[in-house]
């Protein structure tokens, strides 16, 4: 008996030693793989919101609540046979090297570089923390939608999902979950496993912009690139998961209830006006069969129409007179950065929106040109934009000392419109509270949903005839499946050309095009293509998005983390295809998987969206000038919170 007892104890001791060793191996592995915070989160799951997409064509709705507290969103489709997002197991590369802006013509290329320093993807939600009403408002945003559960492949109603939420998550846990989320965590924790379609197109049929710039002393793109700050040139490839279009929808809807601008130091009549406007927008009557607005193109056509009407009747903007030319008050109307110049020119000439009495204003415009800032102040070979940043800081200090309005809101009711890529870095510190309309609308570089605006990047070749050559062939006469031509800027375009250049008759993928007799030029290719490929260059933005719409070609956006223009208003999945950068090898397969009926619906949406992306010598209703101003107005209105 004693011998058996001794053997039993020896056996149990061995088992205990093996268990202790296994436990130590697991702890060591987690310590090496994760930071201390991630280890804790891995051991103790916390609530988070992630995104999945069944189709990238309609607005998001809640799908289910996971056992770990994850609220999972999906987009619902109209009987489509393909998913709206393609995703694989590989990690997608993010930002790399500096941004060299380009405008590729038939046989010429314009490139202007952009700098981005000290990137930050932190989502600043203001000083106030979300209250319990945040959860209720979030649920209200996604009511009455059919929900698709990707794991169980069963349809659920929103009511069933809400029931699950109430059973599995207490209101306190919901608030802790939402309060703990910031823009970075939501991006990195977004659900993978689906591939994304994104469209962004650019026409490169320019004929004179390059020559004009060079004749005026402007350096070539290659020369500019060599002068960029070292920290920008040495950017490494990000290894974080990309932000898909479904993720962006999730971030956008959350921002509507979670983003808080700086609380004004004292009340004003403008605040009361905006609070009243917000109430009217939220109670907008249902719009039916509007002749100018195509409902599927918008997130909520009724709210957009009401907001636009109230902007026309209510909005007053004060333009600061301070600032010297050429950086201030000198609009540049030609080239790839023309959006900021055309907006400045047309706002300054507008008698309906502009007021000379700052006390009447709800918004204050900072009238500088980011392009002229770079051309005037950047020191070649300095590898620094710090003097540009300081120049804007001094300007902000000047108006803050002279007027009370900046100090009242810390700049929250001020806005800027800047298309040069460096503007993101130049303004993110001292003008961080301002509403920033930026062409370089990159989530990883500090774009904030609920505050910032994605500015369309438009190429203007002839300021006297901005609508020259508008339009394209009907769908039945578009014989080319997909088209791209342009300079090999950045890491992505060489991959696109290597994969598809001269390898498939359906995929017209070229480098810089050269005109020749009997050959289609750039614009003619766009006019005859079903899909226009819009890959990123050195930065996420590209004029190709607007150019595709200009020629009525469905844009295919291949630019991870790029927020498309007027994102707060337009349902981009109705008019564009979004493809993850890593899915370039599957590009043709993705495009062929889209049913012809679906393509025709998207092409119709492109034609209906065209009015929002056109510059006119004199502004017209719903044009690009009014849409930029509306996005700034809309974001400011929805930032307003009732005093407690």
Model-wide pTM > 0.75: no
Q: Which band of pLDDT confidence, cut at 50, 70 and 90, is reported for residue 22?
A: confident
Asked if the model's pLDDT at residue 478 lies above 60, the reply is yes
Residue 304 placed within a domain: yes
Residue 72 placed within a domain: no
Q: Which CATH number covers residue 529?
A: 3.40.50.2000
> What confidence score (pLDDT) does residue 448 get?
95
DSSP characters for 414-427? EEEEE-STTHHHHH
Asked if the model's pLDDT at residue 337 lies above 90, the reply is yes
d(CA 374, CA 213): 14
Q: Are residues 490 and 558 in the same domain?
A: yes
Rg of the Cα atoms in the chain: 26
d(CA 568, CA 54): 21
d(CA 372, CA 378): 10
> What confidence score (pLDDT) does residue 644 get?
61
What is the tens place of the pLDDT at every residue in 461-474?
999 999 999 999 99
The sign one gets for the Cα dihedral 37, 40, 42, 47 is: negative
* C-alpha separations of 214 from 205, 220, 455 in Å: 18, 7, 26
Identify which has the larger pLDDT, 8 or 161: 8
Helix (H) or strand (E) holding 557: strand 554-558
> What confidence score (pLDDT) does residue 91 get?
33
Q: Are residues 607 and 633 in the same domain?
A: no
Q: Are 85 and 250 in contact (CB under 8 A)?
A: no
d(CA 545, CA 253): 23
Query: Quick one: which of 548, 311, 343, 571 has its CA closest to 439?
Result: 343
Q: Are 531 and 481 in contact (CB under 8 A)?
A: yes
Q: Are residues 553 and 414 in the same domain?
A: no
Q: Which band of pLDDT confidence, cut at 50, 70 and 90, is reported for residue 15?
A: low
Q: Are residues 285 and 320 in the same domain?
A: yes
User: Hey, is 298 helix, strand or coil?
Assistant: strand
Residue 89 placed within a domain: no
Helix (H) or strand (E) holding 405: helix 405-409
Report the Cα–Cα distance between both ends of the chain, in Å, rounded. Answer: 78
Residue 47 placed within a domain: no
Q: Are residues 312 and 447 in the same domain?
A: yes
How many domains does the chain fold into? 2
> What confidence score (pLDDT) does residue 12 get?
63
Q: Are residues 431 and 300 in the same domain?
A: yes
> What confidence score (pLDDT) does residue 192 get?
34
Structure tokens at 306: 């009401």
Asked if the model's pLDDT at residue 77 lies above 90, the reply is no
Residue 168 placed within a domain: no
Q: Are residues 487 and 450 in the same domain?
A: no
Summary mean pLDDT of the chain: 74
> What confidence score (pLDDT) does residue 157 get?
32
> What confidence score (pLDDT) does residue 19 get?
72
What is the tens place of the pLDDT at every residue in 375-400?
999 999 898 999 999 999 999 999 99
Which distant-in-sequence residues (6+ apart) come within 8 Å of 161 by Cβ? Answer: 62, 63, 64, 65, 147
DSSP characters for 60-79? EEEEEE-TTS-EEEEE--SS
Asked if the model's pLDDT at residue 203 lies above 60, the reply is no
Asked if the model's pLDDT at residue 600 lies above 90, the reply is yes
Q: Which band of pLDDT confidence, cut at 50, 70 and 90, is reported for residue 29?
A: low
Identify which has the larger pLDDT, 91 or 571: 571
Q: Are residues 507 and 359 in the same domain?
A: no
Query: Quick one: which of 60, 21, 36, 219 has its CA closest to 138?
Result: 60
Q: Are residues 430 and 567 in the same domain?
A: no
> What confidence score (pLDDT) does residue 10 get?
56
Residue 185 placed within a domain: no
Residue 220 placed within a domain: no
> What confidence score (pLDDT) does residue 40 get?
37
Q: To the nearest whole percent, how much of the chain has pLDDT over 90?
A: 58
Q: Which domain holds residue 506?
A: 475-613
Q: Are 92 and 241 in contact (CB under 8 A)?
A: yes
d(CA 167, CA 163): 6
Q: Are residues 590 and 632 in the same domain?
A: no
> What confidence score (pLDDT) does residue 514 get?
82
Residue 204 placed within a domain: no
Q: Are residues 293 and 387 in the same domain?
A: yes
Q: Are residues 436 and 483 in the same domain?
A: no
* C-alpha separations of 638 from 136, 257, 451 in Å: 17, 9, 9
Q: Are 122 and 184 in contact (CB under 8 A)?
A: yes
* Mean pLDDT in residue range 529-549: 96
Which residues on adjacent β-strands are paired with residue 382?
none
């Amino acid at each position: 008996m004693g011998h058996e007892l001794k053997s039993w104890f020896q056996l149990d001791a061995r088992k205990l030693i093996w268990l202790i060793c296994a436990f130590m191996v697991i702890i060591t592995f987690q310590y090496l793989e994760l930071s201390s915070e991630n280890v804790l989160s891995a051991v103790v799951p916390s609530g988070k919101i992630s995104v999945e997409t069944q189709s990238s064509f309609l607005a998001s709705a809640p799908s289910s609540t996971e056992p770990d507290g994850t609220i999972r969103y999906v987009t619902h489709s109209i009987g489509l046979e393909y998913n709206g997002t393609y995703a694989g197991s590989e990690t997608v590369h993010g930002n790399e090297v500096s941004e060299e802006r380009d405008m590729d013509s038939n046989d010429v290329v314009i490139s202007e570089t952009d700098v981005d320093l000290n990137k930050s993807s932190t989502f600043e939600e203001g000083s106030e923390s979300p209250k319990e009403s945040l959860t209720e408002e979030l649920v209200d945003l996604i009511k009455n939608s059919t929900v698709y559960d990707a794991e169980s492949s069963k349809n659920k109603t929103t009511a069933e999902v809400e029931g699950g939420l109430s059973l599995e998550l207490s209101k306190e846990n919901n608030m802790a979950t939402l309060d703990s989320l910031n823009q970075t965590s939501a991006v990195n924790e977004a659900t993978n496993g689906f591939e994304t379609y994104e469209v962004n197109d650019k026409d490169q049929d320019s004929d004179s912009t390059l020559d004009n710039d060079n004749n005026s002393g402007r350096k070539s793109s290659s020369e500019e690139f060599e002068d960029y700050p070292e920290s920008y040139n040495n950017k490494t490839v990000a290894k974080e998961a990309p932000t898909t279009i479904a993720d962006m929808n999730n971030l956008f809807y959350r921002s509507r209830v979670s983003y808080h601008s700086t609380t004004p130091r004292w009340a004003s009549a403008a605040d009361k006006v905006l609070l009243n406007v917000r109430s009217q927008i939220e109670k907008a009557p249902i719009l039916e069969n509007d002749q100018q607005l195509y409902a599927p193109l918008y997130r909520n056509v009724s709210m957009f129409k009401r907001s636009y009407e109230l902007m026309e009747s209510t909005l007053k903007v004060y333009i600061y007179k301070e600032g010297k030319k050429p950086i201030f008050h000198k609009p540049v109307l030609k080239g790839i950065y023309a959006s900021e110049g055309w907006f400045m020119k047309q706002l300054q000439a507008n008698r309906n929106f502009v007021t000379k009495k700052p006390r009447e204003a709800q918004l204050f415009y900072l009238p500088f040109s980011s392009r002229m800032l770079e051309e005037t102040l950047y020191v070649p070979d300095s590898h620094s934009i710090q003097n540009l940043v300081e120049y804007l800081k001094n300007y902000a200090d000047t108006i803050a000392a002279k007027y009370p309005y900046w100090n009242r809101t810390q700049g929250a009711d001020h806005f800027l419109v800047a298309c040069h890529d460096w503007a993101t870095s130049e303004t993110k510190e001292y003008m961080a509270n301002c509403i920033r309309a930026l062409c370089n609308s990159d989530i990883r570089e500090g774009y904030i949903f609920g505050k910032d605006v994605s500015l369309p990047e438009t190429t203007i070749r002839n300021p006297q005839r901005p609508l020259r050559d508008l339009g394209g062939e009907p769908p039945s006469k578009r014989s080319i499946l997909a088209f791209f031509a342009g300079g090999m800027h950045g890491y992505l375009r060489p991959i696109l050309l290597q994969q598809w250049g001269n390898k498939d008759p359906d995929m017209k993928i070229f480098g810089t095009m050269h005109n020749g007799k009997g050959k289609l030029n750039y614009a003619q290719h766009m006019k005859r293509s079903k899909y226009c490929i819009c890959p990123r260059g050195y930065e996420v933005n590209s004029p190709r998005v607007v150019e595709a719409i200009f020629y009525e070609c469905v844009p295919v956006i291949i630019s991870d983390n790029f927020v498309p223009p007027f994102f707060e208003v337009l349902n981009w999945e109705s008019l564009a295809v979004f493809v993850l950068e890593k899915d370039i090898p599957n590009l043709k397969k993705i495009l062929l998987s889209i049913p012809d009926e679906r393509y025709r619906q998207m092409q119709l949406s492109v034609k209906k969206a065209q009015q929002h992306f056109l510059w006119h010598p004199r502004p017209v209703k719903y044009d690009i000038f009014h849409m930029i101003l509306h996005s700034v107005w809309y974001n400011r209105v929805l930032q307003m919170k009732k005093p407690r």
